[in-house]
Amino acid sequence: MTTIEAVQGDITHESVDAIVNAANSSLLGGGGVDGAIHRRGGPAILEECRKLRASRYGKGLPTGQAAATTAGDLDARWVIHTVGPVHSTSEDRSHLLACCYRESLRVADELGARTVAFPAVSTGVYGWPMDDGARIAVETVRAADTAVERVRFVLFDRQAHEVFAARLR
């Protein structure tokens, strides 16, 4: 059974097997969580992202998919990059957001990861409402068939932490 928790903090300081990155499809770094992971993790992450892009994802990592690289200088073994959907009011894209969590856990299982830290995928610049994003994240992780023993949602601000903590109760 997977233990699921929510904490307020900086995901780049997590000591876990795998940190999930809310990446953009280019895999070449960006803002928010993605930029923070690349800055703190160092150039090894970007180097492996470039190799992944060249070998498998020439047009970029598709939305809802996940791929792993080294964690570089982070206190983790791997970074699992996933591309969340941009929120839309004209189209239900919630299945794509759920895929981000499922696929990240699938990759974690392939790697043998037992502890995984997730950010709130798509709830920043991609505009997903925090409450709905938390609902999808928690429901998806709870329903997942995974060998991961501990999932930690690491939320940068107090409000996001409160929303996730409420969903976990």
- As a whole number of angstroms, the distance between CA 70 and CA 48 comes to 7
- Residue 91 makes CB contacts below 8 A (sequence gap 6+) with none
Annotate 108-143 with b (16+ C-beta within 10 A) or e (fewer): bbebebbbbbbbbbbbbebebebeebbbbbbebbee
Known catalytic residues are 34
Phi-psi category of residue 134: left, alpha or beta, with phi > 0 → left and psi -120 to 50 → alpha: alpha
Find how far residue 152's CA is from the centre of its chain: 11
- As a whole number of angstroms, the distance between CA 126 and CA 110 comes to 28
Helix (DSSP H) and strand (DSSP E) numbers for the chain: 5, 6
The answer to whether 133 and 123 have CB atoms below 8 angstroms apart is: yes
